[in-house]
Structure 1
Amino acid sequence: MAAKSQPSAPKTKSANGLTNGKAAAQGQWGRAWEVDWFSLASVIFLLLFAPFIVYYFIMACDQYSCSPPVTTKAAQIYAAWVTLQVLLYMLLPDFCHKFLPGYVGGVQEGAVTPAGAVNKYEINGLQAWLLTHLLWFANAHLLSWFSPTIIFDNWIPLLWCANILGYTVSTFAMVKGYLFPTDARECKFTGNFFYNYMMGVEFNPRIGKWFDFKLFFNGRPGIVAWTLINLSFAAKQQELYGHVTNSMVLVNVLQAIYVLDFFWNETWYLKTIDICHDHFGWYLGWGDCVWLPYLYTLQGLYLVYHPVQLPTSYALGVLLLGLLGYYIFRVTNHQKDLFRRTDGRCLIWGRKPKAIECSYTSADGQKHHSKLLVSGFLPQMAVQTGMAPSGRSLAASQSPTPVSTQSDSPRQVGLQGPSVWAHSSVHSGTAHKQEGA
């Protein structure tokens, strides 16, 4: 691009007898006088990330002897891991619900989608978790196929493999949404490629009848791996120091309780924000493959390098605090589930629950009704964290469909498409339902 002279530059005599104006006419010297958007983006990128680039290369050579980031062994481990989870998800129908009282598994229905469809899911996450960990312990104590520290020993190469899978599945979901969506009525296009890639185009991408991208990647392979990663960290601590600290035991126990709770209530998960509202893009695809297993397990990784043996009283205090947090979490979810299952005809804290009632029309023209709970633990926590009870998290976590929480006039809901409208009213007990626009 031809350079332009600066209009404000003074014309002074130079050493060769030419004025600045004449020199500018012949072409500017030195750095650019004008910056396009690409150059600006490059400058910002270097300012923000250049130190991290240096850190990466130095640490790669210092900690990993300048070895390739993705090793053949790590690729084989990760491919075997994902393949195992796909097989457990697709080929082994759930049998746990046949002998575990209170557990709901097998084929279950999800929420009504914006297009008016009701998808079916094979709920077998608890079974997959149990079988995976049974194989893990059988190997550790009997078979000795691989070291229990295998995850820790290949931690960084596995991170690269997880990133590759995260971007691959996100890209595939993007292409699928444009070219061969499962249900074109539930695709959303913003006109911005990067936003579409991050937040997703397709609402419920599937391959065949049963392989649902959202349910698989949300529950497997990341959450099943969570507890295995912690066990590998504990095994590494045993290998390095000859014992496992009580702080590492606490991390394993408390986080295992949360993971088991997730799989025990996997059917309930079908009515939460991830399944009912989020489209499948990089946010879920990469997040479930990388963010979840690598950041949620940082406590255990820290304890491998910095073992902490807590005094018994401190350890008991941490355990009780963790169990109290889990109790609040579980009771909150139970209140929401009870409210949903009984259509609000229940008691919460000994009283009829307050609710926001909404009605809306899905893309197929059918009218639906929904209620949002505003009693119990959930709104109390929302107020304490600065969230209004009508916030997106509250609405999505209880309602099987996109709704509005405006109480004065109907509005178009932007979560799932332009064809969904809702109207709502706040009431106590089971008051009448209002029709939408």
Structure 2
Amino acid sequence: MNRLEKLRPASFGALDPLEPVSALKSRSPILLKATPAWGRTGAGRSWIRSLIASSPVILAPLASISTIITIATFGGSFSDFFSAVKDEGFWTILAKYGPQPTVQAGAAVVIWIGVQAILFRTLPGQTHSGQYTPAGHLLTYKINGLYAWILTHLGYGLLCWFGLLDPAFIALNWSQLIGAMNLAGLIASMFAFAKAHLFPSHPNDRKFSGSVIYDFYMGIELNPRLGANFDFKLFSNGRLGMMAWTLIDVSNLAYQYQTQGYTQLSLVLITFLQTLYVVDFFFNESWYLRTIDIAHDHYGFYLGWGCLCFLPAMYTIQAQYLGLYPTSMQKHHLLFIFSIGLVAYALFRSANHQKDKFRSSAGQCLIWGKPAEYIVAEYKTLDGKQYESLLLCSGWWGWSRHANYVGDLLFSYSTCALVGSTKVIVWTYSIWMTMLLVHRCIRDEKRLSAKYGPAWDEYCRRVPWRFIPGLW
């Protein structure tokens, strides 16, 4: 196998090598063999565990709709919402204030998906490889998300400029759009489930748990595609979820201006920070190929509905709330919190940059002015082939096994704090990110332990802290 054939990108906290392990031995790394069993849990789950784990199939859509109702009807107060539910009943509240299907909203979501699919398929972009799947597949992806983001927002701006679209269209029709997005997410999940059984892209990378509902929720196919290159996971998260985030923020800015006669500094700062985060995502889209979403999560309701509905609905709550209820906070407080958000972003970007620099140089780089320290670990795919990975344990990655998560969490709390409210609903995004990243950390490390075995144990000994040293 030549050098180029050994190119393998990394997962969270674990970096794959760019050259054979024999070439690395001269630099005296720790070389340990790993166990071959890794990937999503397969058969053997009890029906109780499967039922509990799959409960978000019902609870998550109800939670997203309830949150929208709480913001729009009950001033963002969960206590008022639950009082109304207690007095009138949940389904009565849902029928009275929940999303009402409209042709306009349905058409808008269909057009949105169609336009993004065309951009995803036709825009030029560099080809990047993902990482080896458990069955040994190495898939390629065309990276053009930044071009798509620019054209999408430019097109939105031009439609508004020529009077063909109200810039506040999304905010004005939010409840109806949420209803249509829920339906679209459900359809996507059902299609993915049927496709996994009838015409899977890579049959040997499927996982069946023995529970139909759990397989529907977590997904069966690892990398479902239409044709050779239209990848469901990259399209759903990048083009339907992340792309919508900034448009929703901008629409709420426009709505606040239309209804209040001004745009509030807090909403401007939130929009700036979240735009920075989203543009960073697309600018470094090839990095996303090495995350747990693409490399390890299977495609089902969790990613399908989650990207189409949950991400746009729940990650934008700060903008939704301020669009309706402007709050007042002294400017120096806002700027202080904004500064924390910038520091958090810098930590997030710096940690990921160190990881990418280390990977692209095959470990031959300086981290914080010193030669990179790492462990070489071996692992096997299901086809019996053996590969090696580099586990970086210096710089941010010697400080914490998930340093990028620390920046991500601090960033989310900063954007929520900019709202200037103590209402729980305002903090929903940061609360969710805490639960998501802690759970992902535990789940990812369990998989890495199974994949790398003793090498992962050695890495944990060298880097004992998961998030913040001294805390966890």
TM-score, length-scaled by structure 1: 0.73
Q: Which consecutive residues of structure 1, in runs of 5 or more, have no partner in the other structure?
A: 1-36, 95-105, 409-422, 429-437
Secondary structure class of the residue paired with 1:114? coil
Q: Note the aligned Cα RMSD (angstroms).
A: 3.2
Give 2:453's aligned amino acid.
Q
Corresponding residue number in structure 1 for 2:17: none
* 2:230 maps to amino acid: F
Matched, 1:289 2:308: yes
Q: Aligned to 1:107, what secondary structure does the other structure show?
A: strand
Query: What corresponds to 2:89 in structure 1?
Result: 54
CA contact (8 A) 1:358 1:403 kept: no
Unaligned runs of 5+ in 2: 1-47, 53-57, 67-81, 407-436, 463-472
Aligned to 1:404, the other structure's residue is in SS state: helix
Q: CA deviation at 1:201?
A: 0.5
Matched residue pairs, number?
351
Q: Return closer, same or farther for 1:338/1:88 CA change in 2, 3 Å cut-off.
A: same
Partner of 1:433: none
Offset of residue 139 of structure 1: 2.0
Distance (Å, rounded) in 2 between the aligned partners of 1:255 and 1:381: 25
**Partner of 2:251: helix, strand, or coil?**
helix
SS in 2 for 1:118: coil
Question: In the alignment, does 2:105 pair up with 1:86?
Answer: no
The CA deviation at 1:356 is: 3.6
- Output one character per residue of 1:92-116: Cα deviation in whole Å (capped at 9) or x when no partner: 223xxxxxxxxxxx22221122222
1:216 aligns with 2:253: no
CA contact (8 A) 2:130 2:141 kept: yes
Q: Distance in 2 between matches of 1:275 and 1:403?
A: 19
Deviation of 1:154 (Å): 1.1
Whose relative contact order is higher, 1 or 2, with alpha carbons under 8 Å and at least 6 apart? 2
- Report the equivalent of 1:419: none
Measured after TM superposition, the shift of residue 377 of structure 1 is 2.1
- Indicate if the aligned counterparts of 2:379 and 2:452 stay in contact, CA closer than 8 A: no
CA contact (8 A) 2:182 2:305 kept: yes
CA distance in structure 2 between the aligned counterparts of 1:189 and 1:383, rounded to whole angstroms: 29
Structure 2 residue 155 is matched with structure 1 residue 125:
no
Give the C-alpha shift of residue 210 in structure 1. 1.4
What is residue 74 of structure 1 aligned with on the other side?
Answer: 105
**Structure 2 match to 1:20:** none
Query: What is the alpha-carbon distance in structure 2 between the residues aligned to residue 424 and residue 117 of structure 1?
Result: 27
Match status 1:206 vs 2:241: no
Alignment match of 1:156 (pick from 160, 166, 175): 175
Deviating beyond 6 angstroms after TM superposition, the runs of 4 or more aligned structure 1 residues are 383-390
Does structure 2 retain, via aligned residues, the 8 Å contact 1:360–1:403?
no
TM-score, normalised on structure 2? Answer: 0.68
CA displacement, residues 294-327 of structure 1 (integer Å, 9 cap, x when unaligned): 1000000110122124322122212211110100
Q: Percent identity?
A: 39
Partner of 1:11: none
Secondary structure of the residue aligned to 1:221 is: helix
1:404 is aligned with what amino acid? K
The CA deviation at 1:424 is 7.1
Deviations 1:42-79 (A, max 9, x none): xxx99x99948834533653x57xxx721111011111
Report the Cα offset of residue 390 of structure 1: 8.9
Distance in 2, matches of 1:395 and 1:373, equals 18
1:114 aligns with 2:130: no
Deviations 1:1-58 (A, max 9, x none): xxxxxxxxxxxxxxxxxxxxxxxxxxxxxxxxxxxx9xxx9xxx99x99948834533
Separation of aligned partners in 2, 1:424 and 1:364: 25
Distance 1:339 1:194 in 2: 41
Change (3 A) 1:58 1:391: closer
Residue in 2 that maps onto 1:404: 451
* Matched AA of 2:454: S
Matches within 5 A, 1:365-404: 365-378=384-397, 380-382=399-401, 392-393=443-444, 404=451
Q: How many Å separate the matches in 1 of 2:209 and 2:221?
A: 12
Which residue number in structure 1 is paired with residue 368 of structure 2? Answer: 349
* Equivalent in the alignment of 1:247: 266
**Residue type at the aligned position of 2:364:** R
Q: Taking structure 1 as reference, are residues 56 and 327 closer, same or farther at Cα in structure 2, changes over 3 Å only?
A: farther
Displacement of 1:242: 0.2
Flag the structure with larger Rg. 1
Query: 1: distance between equivalents of 2:89 and 2:318?
Result: 26
| Residue number in structure 2 paired with 1:319 | 338
